[in-house]
Amino acid sequence: MDRKKINPRVRLIIIKKGKILLSYIEDEKFYFYIGGKIEYGETIIQACQREIEEECGGAKFIFKKILYVRDYIKPKQNEHSLELYILGNIDKFEEIEKIRDKEHPNHYQTWIDLNKLSEIDIRPKHLVSQLIADYQKDFPDGTKYLGEIE
């Protein structure tokens, strides 16, 4: 029996010194917002903290708020995720540049200048303009539902 399920995921928005922390997949040559699946029995904050510890060499995550909710539905790939984009901070900066994800060795973390986001292949692409506009206003609104954006 092929059980279909929805995977809840956290995607972390961490901005320091005019740069945003992203994951880069070397073999596919694109960037995405750091994060991953919420594990059974874990709160949203615990998932954020675990993902940062795993992917950023033991860095500590500070939760601020949930910015966006996105549907990611790709039936042909048997993928259905509900992504929560979480604004937060971490206690490290330069020391996590190019740190490799132990679970995915072809991924590494990197800081990208906010002014260059529109020039890179980042997914989802359509979040960039929303994120920049909200950042310039210091993320004043509550959580926004993005729907199924690419």
At 110-148, the pLDDT tens digits run 999 999 999 999 999 999 999 999 999 999 989 999 999
Answer CATH for 7-26+38-109+123-144 from 3.20.10.10, 3.30.1330.180, 3.90.79.10, 3.30.1300.10: 3.90.79.10
Is residue 20 within 8 Å of residue 67, measured between CB atoms? no
Is residue 68 within 8 Å of residue 143, measured between CB atoms? yes
What's the full length of the chain, in residues? 150
Tokens of 72: 């990611």
Helix (H, G, I), strand (E, B) or coil at 49: helix
Radius of gyration of the chain from its Cα atoms, rounded to whole angstroms? 15
With a pLDDT cut of 90, the percent of the chain lying above it is 86
Is residue 71 within 8 Å of residue 145, measured between CB atoms? no
Say how far apart CA 109 and CA 113 lie, in whole Å. 13
Is residue 14 within 8 Å of residue 89, measured between CB atoms? yes
pTM of the model: 0.93
- Quick one: 149 exposed, middle or buried, by C-beta within 10 A (0-12, 13-18, 19+)? middle
Tokens of 61: 């995550």
Q: What is the pLDDT of residue 4?
A: 81
Note the pLDDT tens digit of each residue in 5-21: 899 999 999 999 999 99
* β-pair partners for 83: 9, 70
